[in-house]
Amino acid sequence: MYKKTILTIFFLLGGYFFTNNAFGQDDKSFEISIVPSVGFNFSFLQMSPGSSMKEFNYTKGLVSSGDFFWGIGLQARWNNDLTTSIAVGQTNMGGGFKYGFSPNQEKKGNSNGFHTSSSITNSFSLNFEKKLWYSSDFEFKKLHFSSMLNLLWGAGFYWIPPLDRAIPDSNSYNRGGMNERDITVPKNNFTGIINVGLTNQFFINKKPSLKIGVLYSYGLNASRETKYEINYFNNDDPNENFNVLTGKHRVLLYLEYPIVLYRNKAQKEFIKSRN
Mean pLDDT of 98-118: 71
Number of domains in the chain: 1
220: how many CB neighbours lie within 10 A of its CB?
Answer: 19
Q: Nearest to residue 200, comparing CAs of 190, 191, 209?
A: 209
Alpha carbon 113 to its chain's center:
25
CA distance readout (Å), 148 to 32, 134, 135: 18, 4, 6
pLDDT at 8 exceeding the cut of 80: no
Q: What percent of the chain has pLDDT over 90?
A: 50
Mean predicted confidence (pLDDT) in 269-273:
79
Q: What is the DSSP letter of 50?
A: T
Q: Look up residue 136 and give its DSSP letter.
A: P
pLDDT tens per residue, range 32-62? 999 999 999 999 999 999 888 888 888 889 9
Q: Can you give the residue range of the structural domain that contains 108?
A: 2-273
**If you average pLDDT over every residue of the chain, what do you get?**
84
Q: Could you tell me the pLDDT band of residue 11, with boundaries at 50, 70 and 90?
A: low
Look at 137 and 87; give whichever has higher pLDDT: 87
Looking at per-residue pLDDT, the higher value among 275 and 2 belongs to 275
Pair 88, 153: CB distance under 8 Å: no
Q: How far apart are CA 228 and CA 241, in angstroms?
A: 5
Name the E strands within the chain: 30-47, 59-63, 65-78, 82-101, 111-134, 138-140, 143-159, 169-175, 178-186, 190-204, 207-219, 224-231, 239-256, 259-263
Residue-wise pLDDT for 193-230, tens only, equals 999 999 999 998 888 899 999 999 999 999 999 999 98
More confident residue, 98 or 19: 98
In angstroms, the CA 242 to CA 134 distance is: 49
CA–CA–CA angle 84, 85, 89 (5° rounding): 160
